[in-house]
Amino acid sequence: MKIIRTSQPLNDRERNAYLFKGDLILFSRIPAMLELQREMDELIRSHFGDQTSLSDRFQSDPQGFAAEMALLQTSFYKAARMRDLFKDALAQSGMSIQHNYADKLFLRCVPPTRDSNSQFRGSIGQHRDTWGSNIQHQINWWSPIYPISNGNTLTFYPHYWSTPVVNTTADWSFEAFRKARQQAQSISANAQIDYPYAPQAVETVTDEGVNILLDPGDLLCFSSAHLHGSSAEPRSGFRFNLEMRSFGDKDTDRDTPPENVDNAQANPHYHWFNRISDGGKYLR
């Protein structure tokens, strides 16, 4: 696994030639990403003030914290401006947005604790995103809003690129997750979801892993087939990041995708994705 840092755009085929063999690409200082980081900081401050008051509130008033996080997520999902800036950032990285499909842009907040399966996509264990969608040529886009350290970034496990991991793909169901999330929402804003977000590893991954460090305004791109997770030192403070998953149409993704080494799901979830340029459906 090589980490390729570039400030130059790469078109879909150039980018995927790296990603599909397991390399990571780090696009540095993308203009639209820098602007998005600035506006996201403003939005987060309008709900939580600075980082100190965020931590204080999390410790002293978990209910109030969760309620404010729900309001922040609502503000974020209403802000078409944020989605437009992210779309611009993808185009500035070299992606053809007319030929690529993406799921929703997510705002993840990882609190400094391990035991979170909150409604706001907290810390997550080792997994491959392809286990959830079952789309083998899918790729991930990821960017931190504030500076990160080894203790609160993403960790990759390159040994498992071609090595199977015992996992729950045979039994996990999106419908069951959706029902559990609805139930949590009906209880309260900080009720935990009683079902995993996505299939999970059930064996202990003993590899040390590789932490990836990047700055706000940078955009990390990797194959969704990579085994990865949130880094193991949760006491490093809150992490806010933006993330999205995408794949290209058949004219764009002509190269052989990474091999499926351990996903037992039967059907791909294409319906989670829409064309990035205009929101059109993916028609196979």
- Least separation in angstroms between CB 129 and Fe ion: 5
Contacts of 220 (CB under 8 A, 6+ apart): 24, 25, 26, 27, 140, 141, 142, 143, 154, 212, 214
- Least separation in angstroms between CB 158 and Fe ion: 15
- Least separation in angstroms between CB 105 and Fe ion: 14
Between CA 158 and CA 136 the distance in angstroms is 17
Rank residues 23 and 129 by Cβ distance to Fe ion and give the closer one.
Answer: 129
Rank residues 65 and 239 by Cβ distance to Fe ion and give the closer one.
Answer: 239
Q: What residue is closest to Fe ion based on CB?
A: 129
Rank residues 54 and 246 by Cβ distance to Fe ion and give the closer one.
Answer: 246
- Would you state the structure tokens that stand for residue 283, as one six-digit string? 């028609």
The single residue listed with the structure tokens 């604790």 is 113
- Least separation in angstroms between CB 140 and Fe ion: 6
Rank residues 51 and 168 by Cβ distance to Fe ion and give the closer one.
Answer: 168
Binding residues with Fe ion: total (CB under 5 A): 1
- Least separation in angstroms between CB 154 and Fe ion: 8
Which x/- pattern, by CB under 5 A, does the window 177-216 give for Fe ion? ----------------------------------------
Identify any residues that bridge with 136 across adjacent strands, giving them in sequence order: none
Of the ranges 4-12, 40-48, 55-63, 127-135, which one interacts with Fe ion (CB under 5 A)?
127-135
Task: Please tell me whether residue 129 binds Fe ion under the rule CB under 5 A.
Answer: yes
Over 84-122, what HEC string results? HHHHHHHHHCCCCCCCEEECCCEEEEECCCCCCCCCCCC
Contacts of 278 (CB under 8 A, 6+ apart): none
Between CA 31 and CA 270 the distance in angstroms is 30
Rank residues 199 and 248 by Cβ distance to Fe ion and give the closer one.
Answer: 199
3-class DSSP state of 281: strand
- Least separation in angstroms between CB 242 and Fe ion: 13
94, 11 contact by CB (below 8 A): yes
230, 41 contact by CB (below 8 A): no
- Least separation in angstroms between CB 199 and Fe ion: 11
Rank residues 141 and 238 by Cβ distance to Fe ion and give the closer one.
Answer: 141
Task: Please tell me whether residue 103 binds Fe ion under the rule CB under 5 A.
Answer: no
Rank residues 129 and 218 by Cβ distance to Fe ion and give the closer one.
Answer: 129
Over 211-252, what HEC string results? EECCCCCCEEEEECCCCEEECCCHHHCCEEEEEEEEEECCCC
Between CA 227 and CA 125 the distance in angstroms is 10
Of the ranges 44-52, 63-71, 102-110, 129-137, which one interacts with Fe ion (CB under 5 A)?
129-137
Q: Give the footprint of Fe ion on this chain (CB under 5 A).
A: 129
